[in-house]
Every structure is written in C-alpha cells, then in structure tokens.
Amino acid sequence: MANKPAKKKMCFVVGPIGDDDSDDRIHADWLLEDIITPVFDEHFADFEVTRADKISNPGQITSQVITALLEAELVIADLTTLNPNAFYEIGIRHTMQLPIIHMHLEGQRIPFDIAPFRSIKFSRRRPVDIRVARTALLAAVQEATKEDHEVDNPVTFSRGKVEFEKTATPTERLLTDQIGDVRARLEFIEGYVAGGVTISRNTKNYDIFEESNVNRLLAPARKIAIVVRARSRNMLGTTFLKMVDQWACKSFESFDLEPSDQTGREIIISVSDTRENRDRAEIFRDGYHTKEIQVSVGYPKDE
C-alpha cells in the first residue's frame, strides 16, 4: 500500500479581495500571483497558499475563514486599503498570538495601532519592485517559520507590558526609565551633530528632545515634526496614540502620525512646512506640553 503524501502546511492570505474585475480583486490577485505564490513555490514546497475566495469546501465561508485563521501555520495579511474585514481577521490572528506577516502597498498609511510592527512594503511601478518584494517576503517567512520564532504584535506587546508592570521591582522600573533617557540623549546628540534639524523647545519642565526618526521625516519633503513623548506609564500604548491623534486632528488640517518605536512612548506628528503650520505647531507645543507630556518641534534646517 502506497504511503499517503504528507499533508501540507497552510499559508492563509487575508486582505482586500472585492468582486471580480474590481480594483481590489486586481490588486489582490497581483499580490498573490506575482509575489506570494512564486516565493512559496520556489522555497516552501511544504506549504499550500490559499485565500478566502479559493476555499472550495462546502460550508459557511465565514466559519472556514476563522478556522483557517486559528489553524494555519502562517498568515500573510495585506493591509492595503485598510479593509475592515481584513482587519477583523488580523485581529483574530493577533489574539491567538500565532505567526503573521504584514504587507502593504507603498504609500499606504498604516493605522497607528499596528504601525510600530514591521510590515513589508511592496510596489509595482517597476519590474525590480517585484523582485525586491519577493526577497523581503522570503526573509520574513524564513523568520516566521523558525521553531523559536517569537510572535510580535499589539496583543503580545500589550500583554508583555502588563506582565512587566505586575512583576517589575522598583529597581527594574528605574533602570527602564534611565535606559530610555540615555537612548533619548544619544539620539539627540547624533541628530545635532548631523545638523539635520533645528529644535524649538519649551524649556519649562522640559527634559530632552528625542530626535529618533525626525531626520527621515523632515527631508526631502520639508516637513515640520512635532514630537510628543509620554513620561507617565499610564499614558503608554494605544490610549496614548489615540489621544495624540485627537490632539493633532484639532490642530492641523492634514498630518501624518506614527510611533517612533515599539514602546508606544513617543509619537511623531509631521505636517507640511508652511507659515501657518509653524504657528500651529508652536500653539500645539505650548498647549500640550506638561510635566507628564513632553512636546518639541523640529523644523527643516534653513539653507
């Protein structure tokens, strides 16, 4: 009796799909057929790649999708267009704390809840873009399928913070704060030496300006960077991000917002460098800078 072939592992792809011939379907098929499937065909033959619309088993599609999210060895999530159904499915996968790879079309603004976590950018402007995307995906899959891979998403991060708060000694808490301050000072010195920005700071109750990703944001598009940093532990995480987002909405007509790192401790608001926005940035800084919230403004260096 012949041995049955080994059952393949599942890589389940979630994202915007849409109706036949819709822009979403064209995008979804392009990503699946030109980037994801070729990588798995060449390097991961023990995987079967599937998507919700490819499931042929009879039964309710919603329950089958949820089952795939719970049982698949790997999920690849396309964040492009910020599709609500896709984010619902991503949330299920995050909650299960199972391997997931985020991808998004270049230029797509990622929600601040998941912006600190790595997402593979891809583009289809030039043929080389596809090769770059395949290479990045290959590396991500290799990492995600390792036996010792540690899942990193908003759920695992939040749980880790909660557990640390429960068990950390006063000394450990103090060391954590001091390490953060040392990092901030080093980054500020590096930014100052590079000469990339000039800093407007509120000296009252002000500790240090964290330069962090500011140089990247300021050039070459001439952006003003407003850096908002939480000192209180109670203001870290998603709550802090939402609060800063609300403040920015009240102050600027158009802006970009992103966390500086995975700690959720620092948020960068970037706006176009106009006279009006310079005035608004100063008003924003003066209005929201307190002992618990540090606000600084970085301007492009005038030539």
User: Residue 80 belongs to a domain with what CATH number?
Assistant: 3.40.50.450
- In this prediction, the residues of the chain whose per-residue pLDDT falls under 50 are 184-220, 303
How many domains would you assign to the chain?
Answer: 2
Query: pTM score, two decimals?
Result: 0.56
Reported for 143-149, long-range contacts at CB under 8 A and 24+ positions apart, including other chains, are 144/74, 144/99, 144/100, 144/101, 145/44, 145/73, 145/74, 145/99, 149/99
> CA-CA distance, 72 to 70, in Å (whole number)?
6
Q: Per-residue pLDDT tens for 260-287?
A: 655 567 888 989 888 899 989 989 988 8
| CA 236 distance to own-chain centroid | 16
Beta bridge partners of 227: 268, 296
> CA-CA distance, 55 to 37, in Å (whole number)?
16
**DSSP H/E element including 68:** helix 61-71
- Does residue 257 come out as left (phi exceeding 0), alpha (psi in the -120 to 50 range) or beta? beta
Residues 131 and 174 in one domain: no
Residues 126 and 258 in one domain: no
Residues 135 and 79 in one domain: yes
Residues 58 and 173 in one domain: no
* pLDDT attached to residue 265: 75
Assign residue 228 the CATH number of its domain.
Answer: 3.30.70.260
Strands (E), 27-90: 47-51, 74-78
Residues 232 and 94 in one domain: no
Residues 148 and 268 in one domain: no
- Both tokens of 78, joined, read 């396309």
Interhelix angle for 238-251 vs 275-288, to 10°?
A: 130
Residues 17 and 82 in one domain: yes
Residues 117 and 142 in one domain: yes
Q: Range of 191's domain?
A: 168-300
Residues 101 and 180 in one domain: no
Strands (E), the chain: 9-14, 47-51, 74-78, 100-105, 119-122, 197-201, 223-230, 256-259, 266-272, 293-300
Q: Per-residue pLDDT tens for 164-181?
A: 556 667 666 666 565 555
Residues 24 and 117 in one domain: yes
* pLDDT attached to residue 293: 87
